[in-house]
Amino acid sequence: MASTNDVTMTIRTNSEVKKTAAALFDDLGLDMSSAINMFLRECIRKDGIPFEISRKEIPNLKTRRAIKNAINNKNMVGPFKTVEEAMNYLNA
């Protein structure tokens, strides 16, 4: 619902990003304008970007190695016979 204070903004984005985001927002019952307004309002409320922005890769290198090892069944520990055995290993 437009009001007398509403203004039009023009933004640039990749067409695939727009298409994917529009489908997501549609599933959530939102249009692009409402979703962007929610983002802007949350930025104002948080007095910053409402999520972490980082150059760190997620998952980090250590976690990626552990995932790769698990997939390849390498460097695995256990199985443990009891929870206590597992906890003793983790706390060592």
Per-residue pLDDT band for 43 (boundaries 50, 70, 90) equals very high
Q: What is the mean pLDDT of the chain?
A: 91
Share of the chain above pLDDT 90, in %: 58
CA-to-CA separations, 9 to 14, 18, 33, 56, in angstroms, rounded: 16, 15, 10, 31
Q: Provide the whole-model pTM.
A: 0.57
> How much is the average pLDDT of 6-18?
96
- Are residues 67 and 57 in contact, defined by beta-carbon separation less than 8 angstroms? no
Token readout for 48 is 């910053």
Is pLDDT at 25 greater than 70 in this prediction? yes
Count of H-run helices and E-run strands, the chain: 4, 0
pLDDT for res 6: 93
Query: How crowded is the C-beta side of 50, counted as CA atoms within 13 Å?
Result: 10
In the predicted structure, residue 22 carries a pLDDT above the cut 70: yes
Burial (CB < 10 A; 0-12, 13-18, 19+), residue 37, is middle
